[in-house]
Structure 1
Amino acid sequence: SLSPHLHESLDILLFILFMRGMVFQDVFNLTWDMADADNHFHYLRSKTEVPIDTEIPSEARKIMERYREEDCMYVFPFLHRSKNRKKDGGDDIPEESSLHRVNHHAHEIGRLAGLSLRLSTYVMRHTFATLMLESGKPVELISQCLGHSSIRTTQIYLSRISTHRVDKEVNDMFDQMLRPAVV
């Protein structure tokens, strides 16, 4: 029951999640020629210029294909258009305006879903990193996925581990070190 504009923004949020927390600027600039025959994207991360080579999961591929337009180099052409512009006319909007629009829609989607936090593209990137950490993946791997040039950046990003994970780890330690073995 989402409007078409909210659905587009939801697709961008999900795409960010499935594409290893890809930053919005890279999503905005993503072109079809960055994808290879082996189902990978190859590009330089916009902020750090770290080379990124990432598989395109089936979930992300389905989202991409929904928006494919013949004779358009961008994977998500709607990000480059004002809301009211037709496919073939007018000036493209800048990335900052597109990000503002997607984040405005994300906030509305989060509100409709009853989320207590303000949903945004950044939150989706952070969610990816947190899910990786919570599933036991090493920080070095998470850092590479996010395209960070330093593991220290990733550590700052992930400085807050969930209460559930802390509780589990503490109980595991108690079980191993302090609690008597059950015979």
Structure 2
Amino acid sequence: METHLTVICRKDKMNKQNEAPIAIKISQNYKSKKVSLGVKINIAYWDFENNKLKDETPNREQIQFLIDTTIQDLNKKILNYRIQDKEFTIDDLLGISEKKQKTITIEKYFMKLVSQLKEIGKLSSASKYYFCLSSLSKFKPMNTPFTDIDFQFLKDYEVYLRKKGLANNSIATQFSCFKSTYNKALEEGVFTNEDSPFKKFKVGKLWTQTRKRAIHKEDVQKLKEFDLSTLIKYPTPYLEFARDIFMFSYLTAGINFKDIATLRYCDLDNGRIYYSRHKTQKNMNTILLPDALKILNKYIKKDAGAEDYIFPILDRNIHITEQQQADRVQKVLKQVNRKLKVISKALNLKINLTTYVARHTFATVLKRSGVDIGIISESLGHSDLKTTQIYLDSFENTQIDAAMQNLL
């Protein structure tokens, strides 16, 4: 009885961001099951012909380690069965049984996912799953199996979240995370259920399209020219740094704060910045307009190394681990947004400035300047920013560069 293990990228499960989960396919006697590893990659980084990661895959070492250890564990189990000359099924190999389904609780499975995501450096996703588990646990104890989840549970949880005052999109975020976890566990054979409660409970109906927030081009000019020293209650350098971050994001295609924080000297080349966007792992590059370069030059140090960070947010000698970096980025981001709020009030703006507003303003100003809708559509194009960013990447740099001349 031959048992085969194959690493696959499940294109059939690809999402809107062209990301698909990596899984181990276990084949035996014309039957097979796919075991998800709990990690997704952009399909551009998968070699489908040879079923392996491409060399340039972001976080390749961590993901490959996860693949290797999973295969090693499965091979050990196969070897043990053969040494004992025992027949075994795929379910036996995966430890799937009635008893197993009862012992793997929702809480344990969530924590397993959180650990896997941390191992491969996806701290933001790990936090999202942990927060989802925390929310569920406050509603009802999660030391129960997935088979306890039914349609009524989901309806009651929705009512609970609404009573807590959560907005539609916040509720939808919690349910999307829970549904994703439920489906992962189901796919891995943690439990069996032919009638998922999520078939009846539609998570999609919870989402509400929100009005994107942006300021006008004239307001950007006011911000640029505003004398920060008039705000005597606040140290000018901190206000100036917050403004620089906003303006730099606006002038560099709406680069988000985390990507600004991790910009290194080696990411600068011939008047452009090159970086991999943390949220999507997409390789990005954008022109450095004169005003953006002026901001950059304020923070550039002559004695810095190629791998050093440009902006004074992270320090390679202090913020070493992924967690240390994530904590530092969040701390500084809050400080920047607080200072931007102060400036917003001084300028009598209708909305509070944030780094996100800078990103959306970039797109909106170009749209209002008459830039082709195919390059930049309203509110960065689509229902979410990631889809629009991917769409934007498909155009040639010269086209985008010309469009960006409308920014100031």
Using the size of structure 1 for normalisation, the TM-score is 0.69
1:9 aligned partner? 242
| Cα pair distance change 1:7/1:149, threshold 3 Å | closer
Q: Does 1:59 align with 2:296?
A: no
Letter in 1 for 2:268: A
2:349 to 103, 115, 121: 115
1:150 aligned partner? 387
**Structure with a larger share of its residues in strand:** 2
- Quick one: distance in 1 between partners of 2:267 and 2:334? 25
Superposed CA RMSD in Å reads 2.8
2:367 aligned partner? 133
Letter in 1 for 2:347: A
2:259 to 22, 26, 29: 26
Look up the SS of the partner of 2:274 in the other structure: strand
Cα shift readout 1:149-177 (whole Å, capped 9, x = no counterpart): 524998xxxxxxxxxxxxxxxxxxxxxxx
1:104 aligned partner? 338
> Number of residues paired by the alignment?
144
Cα contact 2:262–2:314 (8 A) shared by 1 = no
- Quick one: distance in 1 between partners of 2:339 and 2:284? 28
Cα contact 1:24–1:99 (8 A) shared by 2 = yes
- Quick one: distance in 1 between partners of 2:389 and 2:242? 31
Q: What is the Cα deviation at residue 94 of structure 1?
A: 1.1
Gaps of 5+ in 2: 1-228, 320-324, 392-408
Q: Does 1:74 align with 2:304?
A: no
Rg: which structure is higher?
Answer: 2
Q: What is the Cα deviation at residue 101 of structure 1?
A: 0.7
4+ aligned runs moved over 4 Å, structure 1: 89-93
Where relative contact order (Cα < 8 A, 6+ residues apart) is larger, the structure is: 1
Letter in 1 for 2:282: V
Gaps of 5+ in 1: 82-88, 155-183
Cα contact 2:341–2:354 (8 A) shared by 1 = yes
Look up the SS of the partner of 2:286 in the other structure: strand
- Quick one: distance in 2 between partners of 1:116 and 1:135? 21
Identical pairs, percent: 31
Cα shift readout 1:54-104 (whole Å, capped 9, x = no counterpart): 111111111011111233611212x237xxxxxxx9767611111111101
| Cα pair distance change 1:152/1:44, threshold 3 Å | closer
| Cα pair distance change 1:133/1:45, threshold 3 Å | same
